[in-house]
């Protein structure tokens, strides 16, 4: 195997640079949200999750969740929000370095790390939702069966219908990941 067959093309390097930019841009957009609808809230209530903060009508949602014994949504209950943004900036920097080095092996390692990080992130969110929906206070005024809100999809609890959705930041991350995969195909037989 000659040295040039382990080298990424200039075009592939540009795609990887674009992926680094998308990783960085994702920090400024919501990654995930839950929208709650009920007859008394036809406009819906939101919990919007950025990589470093929560937004939306969190106080109203927490007030309603109190009735079923669910603990409060707050940034202090999600320690990931204190460091997730830094991890993404780090991923953007490492992706940029990968583009500059133009070595396939470095790209393979980067893709592996991103896959592991993505899987761990989804599992972490699922575990948090599981904890919120199954650790209900026995002293709650309204007794309901434990439940697990989906990471993506629809759920109904009492008269509330909840939709869990990906935010634009996640789509930027997914697009960046696809851009990292393209050079694997594009440069597969490069001589």
Report the alpha-carbon distance of residue 45 to residue 60 in Å, rounded. 8
For residue range 58-94, list pLDDT tens digits in order. 999 999 988 999 999 999 889 999 999 999 999 999 9
| pTM, full prediction | 0.89
The whole domain housing 46 covers 3-186
Closest-CA residue to 90 (of 31, 30, 20): 20
For residue range 7-39, list pLDDT tens digits in order. 999 999 999 999 999 999 999 999 999 999 999
Task: Determine whether 135 is exposed, middle or buried from the number of CB atoms within 10 Å of its CB (0-12, 13-18, 19+).
Answer: exposed
4, 47, 111, 112 from 116: Cα distances, Å? 29, 26, 9, 6
13 within a domain of the structure (yes/no): yes
Instruction: Say if CB 32 and CB 52 are below 8 A apart.
Output: no
Q: How many domains does the chain have?
A: 1
134 within a domain of the structure (yes/no): yes
Instruction: Say if CB 180 and CB 110 are below 8 A apart.
Output: yes
67 within a domain of the structure (yes/no): yes
191 within a domain of the structure (yes/no): no
């Amino acid at each position: 195997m000659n040295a040039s067959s382990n080298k990424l093309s200039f075009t592939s390097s540009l795609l990887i640079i674009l992926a680094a930019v998308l990783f960085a841009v994702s920090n400024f957009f919501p990654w995930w949200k839950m929208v709650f609808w009920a007859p008394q809230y036809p406009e819906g209530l939101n919990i919007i999750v950025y990589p470093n903060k929560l937004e939306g009508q969190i106080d109203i949602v927490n007030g309603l969740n109190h009735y079923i014994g669910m603990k409060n949504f707050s940034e202090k209950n999600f320690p990931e929000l204190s460091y997730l943004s830094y991890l993404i900036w780090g991923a953007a920097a490492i992706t940029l370095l990968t583009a500059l080095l133009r070595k396939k092996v470095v790209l393979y390692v980067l893709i592996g790390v991103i896959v592991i990080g993505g899987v761990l992130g989804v599992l972490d969110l699922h575990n948090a939702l599981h904890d919120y929906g199954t650790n209900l206070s026995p002293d709650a005024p309204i007794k309901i069966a434990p439940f697990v809100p989906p990471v993506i999809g629809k759920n109904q609890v009492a008269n509330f219908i909840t939709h869990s959705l990906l935010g634009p930041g996640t789509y930027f991350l997914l697009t960046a990941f696809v851009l990292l995969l393209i050079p694997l195909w594009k440069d597969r037989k490069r001589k």
